[in-house]
A and B are shown apart, each in its own frame.
With several copies, the nearest count.
Chain A
Amino acid sequence: MKKIINHVDNVLDESLNGFAKAHQDIVALNQQPTFVRRLTASSTPKVALISGGGAGHEPLHTGLVGKGMLDSACPGQIFTSPTPDQMLAAAESVENGAGVLFIVKNYAGDVMNFEIAAEMLDCQHDTVLVKDDVSLPENHSTGRRGVAGTLIVEKIVGAAAEQGQDLSQCKALGDHVAKNTASMGFALSSCTVPAAGRPTFDISDNEIEMGVGIHGERGREPMTMASAEELVQHITAAIDKELNPQSGQQILLHVNGFGATPLMELYLVYDLAAKFWEDKGVEIKRSLVGNFTTSLDMAGCSVTLTLLDDEMIALWDAPVNTAALRWGC
């Protein structure tokens, strides 16, 4: 393992310190328990948006805390969901009268820990569960995983909350965005969790893992390495089958890197995915390309599609001021 770190036990804390310092105009870091919250709360009551999950996916979620998006994010240890006390303290720190909405990626650890926090929370609250990974069948025993589509839910609901929509509206909108979002990805390499000190899995030079989550695990199936065209075709077809956008349908197209794949390749993937839907007459209204929902130093990428309507487009375009997404501010 070769990483720019000191002791494996301190990676997360030291990194969070740097994050909070670099973005001290946007966020504040709380220690014991650990959470990152928006520096300046909204002056009028607004629904508090809280997310979280294992660390190692940066900039998700800490990098998405700020005006127009999350009010707070709870990072767990690397690839380990955070604990209920973090979520509870985060919620209590940012709630200001309009209730709390948890945005949770559908992973057993995240779901159960957020559930416990929610049961203990003493104010109006609800949860949006994101399960956008279409590499799994819809009736999978645990439900599908929540992956890169989470950012899109957070952005759109974040804008709605900022504009004063109430808890039930935000919850309904979040469910709506989640339902209209589908993702799938593949990995070219494993990643190395510092505490483990070695790659999570071995993979040969002519093999990829198709249908991966975001915790550096193996995917649904190994596949022989192929051209970008074939790899992207594989995932766009699965996403298309799920959401079945018709000619004229407005969409948001998000190509997400897992951490070690150069932007050059991500844009190449974007080009292929865009062509696929353009050929069907689908209208790509908004795009996002970059490393947003990562798995440490894993190579690979995912494609996410969200069906848009005019309201969602307006909310996507609304001002946002976070470490990783910023416009209109």
Chain B
Amino acid sequence: MTDTNILPHLIQAIQSEMLNNEEEISALDRAIGDGDHLTNLLRGLDAVAKLNNELIQLDWSAALMKIGMTLMSTMGGASGSLLGSMFVSMGKTAKDHQLDLAGVTAIYTAGVESIKARGKSDIGEKTMLDTLIPVMNTLQTAVLESQDRSSVLKNIKTAAIDGMLSTKEMLATKGRASFLGERARGHIDAGARTSQLILCVIADELGKN
């Protein structure tokens, strides 16, 4: 990985991807949530994008922390506290790591663990974690197997998509969808979908370098 110069470009790519899927994401959160997930995420991304000039001056640790604090103080909702915690936690961990595969894996893992802790949640509960955890597992395997960069990026995408799709037939036990009981079945979780889109965009962009 390169330096934080890449951040503005990544953030912009994520924003476009969200807008490209605007209708679908909103519909997902309307169906089994309260319909604000995309708005929350866009508000957060917008605030982060405003910090571009500042972010590229920072090292990865500080930049991730800054992104986390910004998401936390602008998104609101369940996803704001979770994604905020994730980035703050990744920032803290980035201090002690190189940005090689093992380092990125450690940083990402710390982020996912902080969501699990804050959300008192785990895989199989029909949330963003159903996307995020399989990707974490994929990264950890990649480290063990010393996979090459392009395989890793490919595997991340597959894991994210499979994980996202797995939420469809789940009963929800966390988040608003849990209130709907059986009625939540048959719908993909909005947070799982946005996490997957974000991870895939990042993988695609990193693949271009």
Contact = CB atoms under 8 A, between A and B. Distances in A.
Interface centre among B77, B125, B179 (most CB of A within 10 A): B179
A216 interface: yes
Contact of A108 (B39, B74, B174): B174
B92 to A, nearest CB: 14
A78 B80 CA distance: 14
Nearest to A33: B73
Contacts of A116: 72, 81, 84-85, 118
Contacts of A201: 30-31
B8 interface: no
B175 interface: yes
Contacts of A196: 26, 30, 35-36, 39
B78 A108 contact: yes
26 contacts: A76-B76, A76-B77, A77-B43, A80-B36, A80-B39, A80-B77, A81-B77, A83-B72, A83-B76, A84-B72, A85-B73, A108-B119, A108-B176, A115-B118, A116-B118, A141-B173, A141-B174, A142-B173, A142-B178, A145-B179, A195-B39, A200-B34, A200-B35, A216-B35, A217-B180, A221-B181
Dominant secondary structure of chain B at its interface with chain A: helix
B132 interface: no
A51 to B, nearest CB: 15
B19 to A, nearest CB: 14
B134 interface: no
> Which 10 residue pairs of A and B lie closest in terms of their CB atoms, listed nearest first?
A112-B81, A141-B173, A109-B78, A215-B34, A108-B78, A80-B76, A80-B77, A85-B73, A109-B77, A76-B76
Given A84-B72, A196-B36, A218 B180 contact: yes
Nearest to B43: A77
Contacts of B176: 107-108, 213, 215, 217
Q: Is the interface of A mostly helix, strand, loop or mixed?
A: loop
B30 A200 contact: yes
B178 A77 contact: no
A140 interface: yes
Interface of B: 26, 30-36, 39-40, 43, 72-82, 84-85, 118-119, 125, 173-176, 178-181, 183
A240 to B, nearest CB: 22
Interface size class of A (residues with CB under 8 A): 35 or more
A136 interface: yes
A115 B114 CA distance: 13
B174 A83 contact: no
A218 B172 CA distance: 15
Contacts of B73: 33, 83-86
A193 interface: yes
Chain A CB within 10 Å, residue with most, of B36, B73, B84, B118:
B36
A85 B33 CA distance: 25
Given A83-B75, A108-B119, A196-B30, A142 B36 contact: no
A54 interface: yes
Contact of A79 (B36, B79, B179): B36
A78 B33 CA distance: 13
Contact of A217 (B77, B119, B174, B179): B179
Nearest to B42: A195
Contacts of B81: 81, 84, 109, 112-113, 115-116
